[in-house]
Amino acid sequence: MTEAPPTLSPSRLPPIPRLPALALVILIISGCVFLCVGAALLAALLRLPDPLPVTVVDDGAAYPVETRASTVGDLLAELNLTVNEGDAVSPPPDTYLTPNIIVRVERAQLVALVVDGEPASLLTRFSNPFDILKSAGVAVGHYDRVVVDGTPATLADLLVWPIPATQITVQHAVRVQINDDGRQRTIQTTGATVGQALFEAGITLYLADTVSPDINSPITGDTSITIRRSRPVTIIADGVSLETRSQGARVLDALADAGVTLQGLDYSIPPETSLIRPGMLVRVIRVSEKVEVEQEVIPYETIYQADANLELDQRRVLQEGQNGIRQTNVRVRYENGIEVSRTAETTAVAAEPVSRVIGYGTWVVIRTVETPDGPREYWRKLRMYATSYHPAALGGDDVTATGRKLTTGVVGSDPDVIPYDTQLFVPGYGLGIMADTGMSTPRLWIDLGYDDASYVPWSRWVDVYLLTPVPARINYLLPYME
């Protein structure tokens, strides 16, 4: 028989311990706090970061983006921007992104280089041909030939080339020695052959000259060129300089070989019979003559004639003048189109000049002018430029040309205009007497005298009244009044 398991009666169960009420409350609150903190941490772990504003510049093209990438490399991967060999990224790919950062991608371009005939390809971020050559370690000198995308370029052009370069050809110059009929010279050339090198150097070859090595021979770094010249003659004729060679003995032969003929009065320098010397210069002078008629103006004279019916200092034209004409036949000689001589052959007066006659007044009219001392009679009124002077301005000299003492009331002028001892009146100055000689000027001029204490500067046009009595001798035809 199977024995039944023992059972416990309720009275035999162990007693359940009871917690105090305060401990139970604390336990419940601690549990709630733990659950809240855990929930907050979990939410923080599950929350995505805010996107950052970033500007990407790809090969010069800029555009803004917003990204949750953490580094520059992650951003480029996110945007599917591939960085190829030679490209540059700034800042580096492992740089952490910050708000508003600018990420630049500079793309390398493939440039074809040909240096001294050797082709090469170059990946470079430079577009300027000078920078491309520098980055490739290719030095360019003044005599080297550079072609950028089919266009020849100088060193100065390379620095400011306006568009990106894609193909650059550089041919470095080599030094070549030239013996030109005994004259030594050294050139730098990029010519491929002897003929090209001589052409670049501006050396002209003639059919009778010999060149060694042959003009089709290639140029190398140690090339030496020898030129043996035939007998050269330079002929200048009809405005053209002709370099030629002649087997003849005289200048006439050289001219004939060059197809240059002398006609009429033409001649050569040296003369046609002169012997040819190497390097001789022959000038052909083309001569022509013609007769020209020259007309020369015979100026008319101006005659002044007194007119008693005309008031003093007034003039009128009594007869207009007319120029005459003298005609001459002149033989003109031209050499090479330039006039070299004129020879008068016959001369005749084609028209006689007619004098101009001007009448000038001799009628003296007495008038009056108001002065500070009352009305005074005057016989002539002149418009003159007035200045002033005093002894101190003359270094203390106070003696006039007539021996009078220089003081207020003494004036100086041209005695041919105002006779000495003539009394006069100048508004603003007063009465005066002509007692000194003024300087010669191309106008009517008067110098008003003062003593040092009362000096007043003058520099203006004034009316000058010559007071009576009328002098016995009058200059009716004053100068400066034409």
Token pair of 236 as six digits: 């200048």
Mean pLDDT of 167-178: 87
Residue 85: inside a domain = yes
If asked whether residues 389 and 373 sit together in one domain, one would say yes
Query: What whole-number distance in Å separates Cα of residue 312 and Cα of residue 362?
Result: 5
Q: Regarding predicted confidence, which is higher, 427 or 110?
A: 427
Residue 402: inside a domain = yes
Residue 6: inside a domain = no
Total tally of structural domains belonging to the chain: 6
Judged against a pLDDT cut of 70, whether residue 19 lies above it is answered with: no
Domain-ending residue, one of 91, 106, 121: 106
Domain-ending residue, one of 359, 385, 418: 359
Residue 478: inside a domain = no
Neighbours of 222 (CB within 10 A): 9
Mean pLDDT of 297-322: 94
pLDDT at 481: 64
Domain that holds residue 277: 243-285
Going by pLDDT thresholds of 50, 70 and 90, the confidence category of residue 31 is: low
Q: What percent of the chain has pLDDT over 90?
A: 51
Instruction: Provide the CB-side half-sphere exposure for 225 (13 A, CA).
Output: 33
Cβ atoms 254, 269 nearer than 8 A: no
Query: What whole-number distance in Å separates Cα of residue 161 and Cα of residue 143?
Result: 19
User: What is the CATH number for 73?
Assistant: 3.10.20.30
Judged against a pLDDT cut of 80, whether residue 66 lies above it is answered with: yes
Give the CA-trace dihedral at 162, 164, 168, 172, to 10 degrees: 50
User: What is the CATH number for 210?
Assistant: 3.10.20
Lowest-confidence range among 18-27, 97-106, 357-366?
18-27
Cβ atoms 316, 357 nearer than 8 A: no
First to last CA, the chain: 179
Mean pLDDT of 404-409: 96
If asked whether residues 371 and 457 sit together in one domain, one would say yes
Mean pLDDT of 325-336: 94
Residue 302: inside a domain = yes
- What is the rounded average pLDDT for all residues in the chain? 86
Q: Is residue 79 packed enough to be buried (19+ CB in 10 Å), middle (13-18) or exposed (0-12)?
A: middle
Residue 57: inside a domain = yes
If asked whether residues 143 and 76 sit together in one domain, one would say no
Mean pLDDT of 68-92: 86
pLDDT at 457: 97
Query: What whole-number distance in Å separates Cα of residue 390 and Cα of residue 248?
Result: 90
Contacts of 473 (CB under 8 A, 6+ apart): 419
pLDDT at 30: 60
Q: State the residue for tokens 């009219």.
A: 365
If asked whether residues 392 and 449 sit together in one domain, one would say yes
If asked whether residues 436 and 350 sit together in one domain, one would say no
pLDDT at 48: 65
Neighbours of 169 (CB within 10 A): 19
Torsional sign, CA 418, 423, 429, 435: positive
Lowest-confidence range among 32-36, 197-201, 251-255?
32-36
Residue 336: inside a domain = yes
Judged against a pLDDT cut of 90, whether residue 229 lies above it is answered with: no
Has this prediction a pTM greater than 0.75?
A: no
